Amino acid sequence: MITPRSLEAGQRFLLAAKKWWTADLYEHLRKQYLAQAGAKADRHNVADVAAILEDTTEYRYFAWLERHLQRMKYSGAYGLARYYDQARDSVLPPLAEVERKSALLDLQPDLPLPRYYTGVDIHQHPGGVWSDDVAGLVYEHGARTTTPMLGTSHADLHTRFTELVGKRMTPKKILDLGCGFGKSTQPFYAAFPEAQVEGIDLSGPCLRLAARAAESVGAKNIRFRQRDAVNTGYSPGSFDLVTSTMLLHETPPAPLETIIEEAARVLEPGGRMIHLDFHHLPDAFRRFMFYGHGRRNNEPYMQPLAEVDLHKVLKRHGFEDVTIEPFSEAEGLGVHREDVWRLPWTVISARKSSRADSRTKRTKRAKSRSARS
């Protein structure tokens, strides 16, 4: 039986090991690579880095440790999945009560879930974040130790991102795609109390947590709905801001394009789409390490996102003022920090052209005339 105390002790041990992996072991590998690459490092690609590092004992240990620290976090003797499975009789009734009574929650238990979502245990989360009533609790607990560097937390990350958005606009109608358990949504409904905020996700277990958290702070301007980001069900032009955090890299290229198309549809002309995700990789060493992370962490769509031409995709769907820029998830932890492992946080921002809707209508009229002729 895993007690709360033993769970905490086990998770703190794993976090301490991950901190050492994040800083000391990562920096050792970087120096080892640079020593062998020398002046050629600036001209290297991912294959060049792999040729130097992939067969070394140190890199193999780095990769093994990353894979198995994550596995132990969820499925080990003191893993989160095991703990919440044992505790389900005590932790699930309050969430069932939220589902019965909350005016902030709209679940669709029969919503079809895409194969790319159900077919991979993302983050090595057993069964995925959708497959068990306790899965949201497991995911939420696991997210607290995802960025174990320099005292950072996801709270820092989401608050900083919301502040960045606030410097660019004052949204009134916000759609948060792939909102999960509401961590990305909360700063928006708190920072913009006059706005109406909608958070959607495929995972019912996560959405129950999101609604419970919103109710606990008395939020009134938020609704969480179980919907698919590729087909949200909202009317055209319903929002002036469409956002997401860590959704794009968990989506294969074809659905990703559909999500962008859907965002354009539900945005009003001149509205903005601003995503926080992983894209900016300034050198071959960090790209090599990031691609390996995707494989080891069961995130197969990370590399395709990093390699797609987002400027081209966004402009094809009627977006203007496209900017793709690195983002610092915490003070002092930006792209300039080469000595620690960090995810390539990137802000992807674009404005829907005021001409996009009229262009779409002209295209449809032309197709209609062609069909009649």
Q: Write out the chain's pLDDT in tens, 373 residues.
A: 999 999 999 999 999 999 999 999 999 999 999 999 999 999 999 999 999 999 999 999 999 999 999 999 999 999 999 999 999 999 999 999 999 999 999 999 999 999 999 999 999 999 999 999 999 999 999 998 765 555 555 568 999 999 999 999 999 999 999 999 999 999 999 999 999 999 999 999 999 999 999 999 999 999 999 999 999 999 999 999 999 999 999 999 999 999 999 999 999 999 999 999 999 999 999 999 999 999 999 999 999 999 999 999 999 999 999 999 999 988 888 888 999 999 999 999 999 998 755 455 544 444 444 444 3
Return all residues near 334 (Cβ < 8 A) that are at least 6 apart: 326, 327, 328
Residue 357: its pLDDT value, please? 52
Total domains in the chain come to 1
pTM, two decimals, is 0.92
Amino acid at 218: G
Residue 354: its pLDDT value, please? 85
- Whole-number CA gyration radius for the chain: 22
Residue 333: its pLDDT value, please? 84
For residue 128, the tally of other CB atoms under 10 A from its CB is 21
Contact between 169 and 99 (Cβ < 8 Å): no
Which string of DSSP letters, residue by residue, matches 132-167?
STTHHHHHHHHHTTS--STT--HHHHHHHHHHHHHH
The alpha-helical segments, DSSP class H, found in 21-134 are 26-37, 46-53, 57-75, 80-86, 88-101, 115-118
Please report where in the chains the tokens 């669709």 appear, as a residue: 108
Structure tokens at 181: 């358990």
Residue 190: its pLDDT value, please? 97
Structure tokens at 252: 């294969």
Q: CA-to-CA distance for 373 and 355, rounded, in angstroms? A: 27
Cα distances from 145 to residues 5, 70, 74, 312, in angstroms, run 17, 10, 12, 35
Residue 365: its pLDDT value, please? 47
Q: CA-to-CA distance for 229 and 226, rounded, in angstroms? A: 10
Q: Which domain holds residue 314?
A: 1-373
CATH number at residue 246: 3.40.50.150
Residue 362: its pLDDT value, please? 44
Q: CA-to-CA distance for 191 and 184, rounded, in angstroms? A: 12
